[in-house]
Amino acid sequence: MKTLAIFGAGPGLGISTARRFGKEGYRVALVSRTGDRLKSFVDDLAAEGVKAEAFTADLADLSGHAALVEAIGGIDVAVINGYLKFEHVRPTLDIDVESMRLAMEGTTLAPLSLTRLLLPRLLEQGDGGLLYGIGLSAKDPLPQLAMPGAAQASLRNYVHNLHLALADKGIYAGALTLGVLIERSDAQVMFDSIPEATLGLEPERSEPDDLAELYWDLYTRRDRAEQVVGQF
């Protein structure tokens, strides 16, 4: 049985992606800081016939990544999400060296750390996939999201280069780049309950099941490095 690992699994796209790959017979490893919530995810998936397991970990602790990957076991496909606290989101003129460092650590260096740990096994078996969730501000500049956008732009560039470097090795790498608000996600709850969290934006909303289908399409078709959804 092949294994899908979702690093940074939430109630929206994370669960939908687990369900989509589970439908194809994948075992699913869900990784998040919140253990109690992960258990509920596992229970819900099990009720649908998806074999899932929870791994509680703080992805901000890069030193713990190796032990986490080892605990999960052989990973064939990974969805790798970065992280950034809302209070660290800054517009263009408020960015300084320290805030950018925090953004880079969460949105770029943590995904890179996980990627480097996963690559040896994938290269050895000559098959597998690395899927990344990226915000649209990494592609299309938006002053309100300048800091996460600038940080994730480096990850986006890396993923495009990774796609090219792995193309002849049987491994797919690609990004789902989103300029939408995902229904039932943590971001959607915050957006709808905290006025300042909107940042003056009114993004269109997308169903996570539809986005999970795009992850599956990216991985199985392997004909593009990026799928962009939505616009500012």
Q: What is the residue extent of each domain of the chain? A: 3-229
Residue pLDDT, tens place only, 30-76:
999 988 899 999 999 999 999 999 999 999 999 999 999 999 999 99
Confidence tier at 86 by pLDDT (50, 70, 90) = confident
Rg of the chain over Cα atoms, rounded to whole angstroms, equals: 17
E-assigned strands of 18-75? 27-32, 52-56
Residue pLDDT, tens place only, 189-203:
878 887 776 677 788
State pTM to two decimals: 0.95
Identify the DSSP state of 33: S
pLDDT in the model for residue 155: 97
Q: Concatenated DSSP letters for 101-142? A: HHHHIIIIIHHHHHHHHHHHHHHHHT-EEEEEEEEGGGTS--
Confidence tier at 173 by pLDDT (50, 70, 90) = very high
Q: Per-residue pLDDT averaged across 207-225, rounded?
A: 98
Amino acid in position 65? H
216 within 8 A of 20, measured Cβ to Cβ: yes
| Spatial separation of the C-alpha atoms in residues 14 and 45, rounded to whole Å | 11
Q: Per-residue pLDDT averaged across 9-16, rounded?
A: 96
CATH of domain 3-229: 3.40.50.720
Higher per-residue confidence, 142 vs 232:
142
Higher per-residue confidence, 116 vs 196:
116
4 within 8 A of 12, measured Cβ to Cβ: no
- Look at residues 119, 112, 133 and name the one whose alpha carbon lies nearest to residue 14: 133
| Spatial separation of the C-alpha atoms in residues 164 and 178, rounded to whole Å | 21
Dihedral class, residue 180 (left if φ above 0, else alpha if ψ from -120 to 50, else beta): beta
Confidence tier at 212 by pLDDT (50, 70, 90) = very high
110 within 8 A of 158, measured Cβ to Cβ: no
Confidence tier at 110 by pLDDT (50, 70, 90) = very high
pLDDT in the model for residue 39: 93
- Look at residues 48, 47, 45, 56 and name the one whose alpha carbon lies nearest to residue 14: 45
pLDDT in the model for residue 197: 64
| Spatial separation of the C-alpha atoms in residues 164 and 225, rounded to whole Å | 8
Identify the DSSP state of 200: T
The encoded tokens of residue 177 equal: 């780049």
Q: Per-residue pLDDT averaged across 146-162, rounded?
A: 95
**H or E segment at 7?**
strand 3-7
Confidence tier at 12 by pLDDT (50, 70, 90) = very high
pLDDT in the model for residue 24: 98
CA distances from 65 to 58, 96, 152 (A): 9, 28, 20
181 within 8 A of 191, measured Cβ to Cβ: yes
pLDDT in the model for residue 34: 85
